Amino acid sequence: MDELGRGTATFDGTAIASAVVKELSENIKCRTMFSTHYHSLVEDYSHSLSVRLGHMACMVENECEDPSQETITFLYKFVKGACPKSYGFNAARLADIPEEVIQKGHKKAKEFEKSVLSMKVFRNLCWIAEGALAAKDYLDKLTLLHV
């Protein structure tokens, strides 16, 4: 399976792909090759007993922040674990997408990555605050019971 949720908004696509992974791995329990560009799914299923992560190995020469400086050689070998990063810009270069377009895309990707990371930090802070409020509420109820 590949590209589930393609053509949808990022969150819709992630939700669709996540629901399919969950159904296939936990309910149907079938063997499936599943390819996704939704990296949050990798995090969500990294400790799942019903999902094993793997990726196609590659060799990266001149690895750096600027994808125009990197050379990727795909090794045609399936290895355990999540892919350490996306190589989409290198694939775009192999498809002869103009370098100017690739560089603009890379800049936008970095901006998007920063906004997603900010959202994750905010979400984690909300969870911490919610947990603290729940703990305080629990302690308040215990105090009332002992009065």
What pLDDT does residue 37 have?
72
What pLDDT does residue 90 have?
82
Please provide the distance, in angstroms rounded to a whole number, between the alpha carbons at the two ends of the chain: 60
What pLDDT does residue 120 have?
65
Per-residue pLDDT tens listing for the chain (147 residues) = 666 777 776 778 888 888 888 898 889 988 877 777 777 888 888 888 888 888 889 888 887 777 667 888 889 999 998 888 777 888 888 889 998 998 898 888 888 878 776 766 666 666 666 666 666 665 666 566 654
pTM: 0.58
What pLDDT does residue 73 have?
87
**Cβ–Cβ < 8 Å for 40, 29:** no
What pLDDT does residue 101 have?
92
Alpha helices in the chain (DSSP H): 10-22, 39-45, 88-94, 99-146
What pLDDT does residue 91 have?
81
What pLDDT does residue 77 have?
92
| Structure tokens belonging to residue 93 | 């270069």
Q: What would the 3-class secondary structure string for 96-111 be?
A: CCCHHHHHHHHHHHHH
What pLDDT does residue 143 have?
62
**Cβ–Cβ < 8 Å for 23, 36:** no
